[in-house]
Amino acid sequence: MNVELLNTGSELLLGRVLNTHQQWLCRRLADLGYVVGRQVAVPDSARDIQSAVREALDHADLVIATGGLGPTSDDRTRDLIAQLFGKRLQLNQAVLDHIRKRFAARRLPMAKINEVQALVPEGARVLANPNGTAPGLAMKIKPSEGQVTRAPNPKIIGGSQRSPLRTRWLVMLPGPPRELRPMFDHFVVPLLRREFPAAAPFICRTLRASGIPESQVQEKIAAPLDKLVKAGLEIGYCARMGLVDVRLLARGRNGRSTVRAAEAVVRKILGARIYGYDDEEMEAVVVRLLTGRKKTLALAESCTGGNLAHRITNVPGASKVFGGGIVAYSNAAKRKFLGVRAATLARHGAVSAAVAREMAEGAREKFGADFAVGITGIAGPTGGTRTKPVGTVFIALAGAPGTVVERRLNSYGREEFKDLTARQALETLRMRLVRE
């Protein structure tokens, strides 16, 4: 089965909006056993949208188009698809009533242009949208409907030869993620299982490692996994700052056992370097470890500006283990709120192991926590010296056994510097908790 995605929207190609649909839909489809063969983004023009749909339907069994179902002049997908197949747009009263009720419930006036969202191409199935006003649409393209406007031969779409016996599906989903995602799960997934039930089992497992380069990961695990690769295992690597994902994939009846065997090999080789699985983030792992060990955490941040606290508090249940944090950016704040001594600042400077140590110990005492992290560094682009270049950072971890301080050099832009430093602090704490 061939699946293609078509994301419409000039804003995507102008770089004004991040295309999250591609990642989310590809992941969901792959988990269901349908691997996307191609993804295309096109602007909001009739020529581009119609030609992209024609080309996709030429060799795909399922085409999912996103965006362009709204009420404004640049939302043209609905109209252009109807035109492409020579279908009339018909007013769907149920959809119109739904739109009116949504505006009434919010005590907002409904503009006349919103009524265009109730226009449905003749023969299309309406996918209800309880989270918005634009319904999704699904069209079954039968062999007898293979001819589209501007294609004189029923065996030809977009000028290329194709089989006239194949039934295809075209699904149109609204652009906002909060509308698209539940619609896909509630309506498109059942359609897939009903219309394309023969998809081969697809098993994918991601092991997430930290503190080891991508090249070393491959060097360690490639040879031990060789027999499984010959049996159908696919291995993928994805490196991010300070992290490496190892993707294990297999298809078919024996896919699950193959992936399980490969996972056991990788876990044995990488050991504690593996911090999580699939979509698991480092901060969630740390919160879980703290919760399981009934330990609490406090933070003292300078150069990361609260990035670490932000990550921790994104995890549900963090309030059970996270007492609080202090962003002490200035020397005065370090002295006043964390008890860093003026003599320490004067002798070693704000960016030093000694100051990071006193920041962590001060936060631990102030919040009465079992552990505390102190971070101080030079995010740049200025402020570096010969002995402390831009990117220098000190990460201190205070706990009952004592305080340890690590020095790192994270020579990146400010945002990347903050993200990587926060992640390194989490890894330092995770490794301490794993060893306890």
- Please name which of 196, 200, 201, 218 lies closest in space to residue 209, comparing C-alpha atoms: 218
Query: Do 75 and 69 form a contact (C-beta atoms < 8 A)?
Result: yes
Encode pLDDT of 167-213 as tens digits.
899 999 999 999 999 999 999 999 998 998 866 677 899 999 998 99
Sign of the dihedral defined by the CA atoms of residues 412, 416, 418, 423, in that order: negative
Question: What's the mean pLDDT in 311-331?
Answer: 97
Second-level CATH architecture of 202-277? 2-Layer Sandwich (3.30)
Query: Do 326 and 363 form a contact (C-beta atoms < 8 A)?
Result: yes
As a whole number of angstroms, the distance between CA 140 and CA 217 comes to 46
Q: Is 365 exposed, middle or buried (0-12, 13-18, 19+ CB in 10 A)?
A: middle
Which of 157-161, 184-188, 266-270, 425-429 is the least confident region? Answer: 157-161
Question: For 305-407, where are the alpha helices, taking DSSP H only?
Answer: 307-313, 331-338, 342-348, 353-367
Confidence label for 157 from pLDDT (cuts 50, 70 and 90): very low
Calculate what percentage of the chain has a pLDDT beyond 70.
94
Tell me what pLDDT residue 45 has.
86
Q: Is 371 exposed, middle or buried (0-12, 13-18, 19+ CB in 10 A)?
A: buried
Tell me what pLDDT residue 143 has.
67
Tell me what pLDDT residue 156 has.
33
Strands 402-409, 297-301: parallel, antiparallel or unpaired by DSSP?
unpaired
Q: Is 136 exposed, middle or buried (0-12, 13-18, 19+ CB in 10 A)?
A: buried
Mean pLDDT score across all residues of the chain: 91
Q: Look up the pTM and report it.
A: 0.77
Question: For 157-250, where are the alpha helices, taking DSSP H only?
Answer: 177-183, 189-195, 214-221, 226-230
Tell me what pLDDT residue 148 has.
44
77 Cβ partners below 8 Å, 6+ apart?
8, 49, 65, 67, 68, 69, 172
Q: How many residues does the chain have?
A: 436
Tell me what pLDDT residue 59 has.
85
Q: What is the DSSP letter of 319?
A: G
Ordered by start, the domain boundaries in the chain are 3-195, 202-277, 283-435
Fold that domain 283-435 belongs to in CATH: Maf protein (3.90.950)
Query: Do 407 and 390 form a contact (C-beta atoms < 8 A)?
Result: no
- Could you identify the residue written with the tokens 């242009």? 113
As a whole number of angstroms, the distance between CA 236 and CA 332 comes to 48
Structure tokens at 199: 């998809």
Superfamily name with CATH number, domain 3-195: MoaB/Mog-like domain (3.40.980.10)
Tell me what pLDDT residue 155 has.
36
Encode pLDDT of 335-376 as tens digits.
999 999 999 999 999 999 999 999 999 999 999 999 999 999
Name the 3-class secondary structure at 137.
Answer: strand
Tell me whether domains 3-195 and 202-277 share a fold: no
Confidence label for 145 from pLDDT (cuts 50, 70 and 90): low
pLDDT of 163 > 60? The answer is no
Structure tokens at 276: 């999580």
pLDDT of 160 > 60? The answer is no
Structure tokens at 231: 């049996």
Encode pLDDT of 44-88 as tens digits.
888 899 999 999 998 899 999 999 999 998 889 999 999 999 999
